[in-house]
Chains A and B, each alone.
Chain A
Amino acid sequence: MSEVDKKKSPARDASPGSVPAPRDASDDAKEFLSVRNLSVHFDTDDGLVKSVDGVSFDLKAGQTLGIVGESGSGKSVTSLGIMGLHTSERARIGGEIWLDGEELIGAGPERVRKLRGQKMAMIFQDPLSALHPYYSIGSQIVEAHRVHHKVDKKTAKKRAIEMLDRVGIPEPQRRYEDYPHQFSGGMRQRAMIAMALVNNPRLLIADEPTTALDVTVQAQILDLIRDLQKEFGSAVVMITHDLGVVAEIADSLLVMYAGRCVERGTAEEVFYQPQHPYTWGLLGSMPRIDREQTERLVPVKGSPPSLINVPSGCAFHPRCPYADVPADNITRTERPELKPAGDGEGHYSACHMTREQRDRIWTEEIAPKL
């Protein structure tokens, strides 16, 4: 996995362990985003869906946090929760979200609305359905700008064209008038990024921004996000189920399973000393350039658990090959707490195995096969 090494920036070396242990957000003013014990449950006819159940993390300005996990693990629900976009009356939201020293869950919806699009912005997976088909690209960007800035249409238009130019849309003057269906997939995502960044937000949440795009376009979009982040110094939350994506741009990683965080640490820690069997599974399913396509390992065996009747004990136990390693069947009866694991001080994992057991399995059984 030496390609990860090469991508490391000097800035990242200067601040090892950039995700500290969860503590009171007011302790450290430098954290731009602090999520504490976030839970998002949906009251459905079938029962309470625990889509996100006690997730915590911190993120500094200028840093990128990658959130990974398979489909249904609660990545999108987490990010929509931060943005205050759970409008359903059936959503039950708990915990704390601190954005630049301000708590959002307790704040009124009007206050959160004012922050949305201004201090925090979001880009979505499918840019075609996320853009309104009836309004031109330009007018949608202008609208985003004018919600938060009292400027006339001309100034806003100038700003929108500037942004289109910045995200690499050719002939921005002309393409400003175009409608979403006249753009290609990659261009639409660029336009979405222009729209999200038009107000210089200090937090950008990207929910699988490249999943709907061609492989070549994917790389361009990731490069663009990385460049813009450097330029604007914003904090980025990059959501994906593709570890290859986060390997390229994340400073720290959060691995989600069944609405909970199972492992968290710097990108290096999670890639080189992963401390959770689910993370091992994800690493094993990661496509690699240096390996034949046919040799690619299968994704984690088994199917994602129900979020209504989450498995007892460790939610991963029905799929975990090492469920019997910890003594006394504890894996099935007791939920493992997130505990310090590995060498870095910010490296946490939720597994009943001892550090020795995990290290032995990792070095002897998993790492050689990767």
Chain B
Amino acid sequence: MAAYIIRRVFAAVLLLLVVSAVTFAIFFLVPRLGGQTLDSMAAQYVGKSPDPDVIAAVKKNLGLDQPLYLQYWHFIKGIVVGAEYQFGPDPVTCNAPCFGYSFKTHTEIWPQIVDRIPVTLSLAVGAAVIWVLSGVATGVVSALKRGSIFDRLSMGVALAGVSLPMFFTGLVVLAIFGNGEYVPFTENPLEWAGSLVLPWCTLALLYSALYARLTRAGMLETMGEDYIRTARAKGLKERKVVVKHGLRAALTPLVTIFGMDFALLLGGAVITERVFSFQGMGAMAINGVTTADLPKVMGVTLVAAFFIVLCNLLVDLVYAAIDPRVRLS
């Protein structure tokens, strides 16, 4: 098991490096391949006034004239030890971890991300708890009472839930209940939860519908397995047969799907944040795109990629904990 963990962690770190290199290349190599000059690239970092001095400064600060591997090295170094930009009369310091500096708003990117992570995290965690509990419970009961009124009704609702776009449910919820403002957990936990209930439920509806269907399908399959018959042949109570022998196996494939869904949400629940005007990572990404603030977009992209790699690692570890065939092979 220890060897397995070390292997997976090592692979995750490697993956992270690759992902950051690819992201870096998208922002600094692809434009050049697309025919942009260094000047036109530098110009993108400074609003609409093409002041040649400023452009030259940006070019130098970003090191656009240096070889690409050196640029990447400086970038990584900035994340670890911070960076300094010579901009105008005073040097600007970008503290570690430096995920870039916006020359448009004259702000560091990392503190903005740190500001927004709690919003996104609150949204994602709360919604995940709701959708996993409700989705799995509905799926199990549906599978066990296959063909019953409950099964038909909940699967009908689930189908609707999967098909309804977030804009629609979100806007309907907004129209009925009105909008609240996000309250940080540290300020007032109760109001924090209150401010999040609507976005949680809206977001969870979509996923719990999907999870109910997946759980139902998984349960129907595992409850037909030979080992379930063995469990019954031992004289186990049906409840134990279902939970200990059936559910555990049925939920395994769900772990992977959950890891992905959750990781993507941590990168920002773009539509939900938009509908409920929450200032999370998704909103930051949208903001970065609409104002053409490249460092902002890149920062969010990197953090989102980090979450995906992290969740992937966790999925691998959870898998190994559940299935001995993974851990012992």
Binding site for B on A (CB under 8 A): 80, 83, 85, 87, 113-118, 121-122, 124, 126, 129-134, 136, 143-144, 147-148, 179, 181-182, 192, 195-196
A80 to B228, CA, bound (A): 13
Q: Does B303 contact A (CB under 8 A)?
A: no
Contact mask for chain B residues 291-329; partner A; CB cutoff 8 A; 1 contact, 0 none: 000000000000000000000000000000011110010
Known: A85-B232, A87-B232, A126-B226. A134 touches B237 (CB 8 A): no
Contact mask for chain B residues 74-96; partner A; CB cutoff 8 A; 1 contact, 0 none: 00000000000000000000000
Interface residues of B in 190-244 (CB under 8 A from A): 225-227, 229-237
A115 to B235, CA, bound (A): 7
Q: Does B249 contact A (CB under 8 A)?
A: yes
Known contacts A133-B323, A143-B236; 10 additional CB pairs below 8 A are A116-B232, A118-B235, A124-B230, A129-B226, A130-B226, A130-B230, A134-B249, A134-B323, A181-B328, A195-B234
Cβ A181 vs Cβ B234 within 8 A:
no
Known: A179-B324, A179-B325, A179-B328. A132 touches B234 (CB 8 A): no
The 4 residue pairs across chains A and B that have the minimum distance between CB atoms: A117-B235, A129-B226, A116-B235, A117-B234
Q: Does B8 contact A (CB under 8 A)?
A: no
Known: A134-B249, A134-B324, A179-B328. A113 touches B235 (CB 8 A): yes
Cβ A133 vs Cβ B227 within 8 A:
yes
Cβ A130 vs Cβ B234 within 8 A:
no
Cβ B227 vs Cβ A113 within 8 A:
no
Residue of A whose beta carbon sits closest to that of B324: A179
Cβ A132 vs Cβ B227 within 8 A:
yes
A87 to B226, CA, bound (A): 13
| A338, chain B: closest CB distance, angstroms | 30
A126 to B324, CA, bound (A): 20
A182 to B236, CA, bound (A): 25
Q: Does B152 contact A (CB under 8 A)?
A: no
| A196, chain B: closest CB distance, angstroms | 8
Residue of B whose beta carbon sits closest to that of A144: B234
Residue of A whose beta carbon sits closest to that of B223: A87
Cβ B248 vs Cβ A134 within 8 A:
yes
Residue of B whose beta carbon sits closest to that of A115: B235
A114 to B231, CA, bound (A): 13
Q: Does B274 contact A (CB under 8 A)?
A: no
Q: Does B245 contact A (CB under 8 A)?
A: yes
Residue of A whose beta carbon sits closest to that of B227: A132
- A to B contact number (C-beta, < 8 Å): 69
Cβ B230 vs Cβ A114 within 8 A:
no
A273 to B231, CA, bound (A): 41
Known: A179-B324, A179-B325. A130 touches B229 (CB 8 A): yes
Contact mask for chain B residues 38-54; partner A; CB cutoff 8 A; 1 contact, 0 none: 00000000000000000
| B2, chain A: closest CB distance, angstroms | 16
Between-chain CB contacts (< 8 Å), 14 pairs: A80-B229, A85-B229, A115-B235, A116-B232, A116-B233, A122-B233, A129-B226, A130-B230, A133-B325, A136-B324, A143-B236, A148-B235, A179-B325, A181-B325
A72 to B149, CA, bound (A): 34
Cβ B230 vs Cβ A147 within 8 A:
no
| B305, chain A: closest CB distance, angstroms | 32
Residues of chain B contacted by A136 (CB below 8 angstroms): 324
A192 to B234, CA, bound (A): 11
Known: A132-B227, A179-B325. A121 touches B233 (CB 8 A): yes
Cβ A85 vs Cβ B323 within 8 A:
no
| B209, chain A: closest CB distance, angstroms | 27
A240 to B230, CA, bound (A): 19
A32 to B235, CA, bound (A): 20
Contact mask for chain B residues 106-121; partner A; CB cutoff 8 A; 1 contact, 0 none: 0000000000000000
Residues of chain B contacted by A121 (CB below 8 angstroms): 233
Cβ A85 vs Cβ B233 within 8 A:
yes
Known: A85-B229, A124-B226. A133 touches B324 (CB 8 A): yes
Residues of chain B contacted by A181 (CB below 8 angstroms): 324-325, 328
Residues of chain A contacted by B231 (CB below 8 angstroms): 132
| B199, chain A: closest CB distance, angstroms | 36
A264 to B245, CA, bound (A): 39
- For B230, B232, B325, the residue with the greatest tally of chain A CB atoms inside 10 Å of its CB is B230
Cβ A147 vs Cβ B322 within 8 A:
no
| A61, chain B: closest CB distance, angstroms | 20
Residue of A whose beta carbon sits closest to that of B228: A132
| A178, chain B: closest CB distance, angstroms | 9
A115 to B324, CA, bound (A): 31
Cβ A116 vs Cβ B234 within 8 A:
yes
Cβ A129 vs Cβ B225 within 8 A:
yes
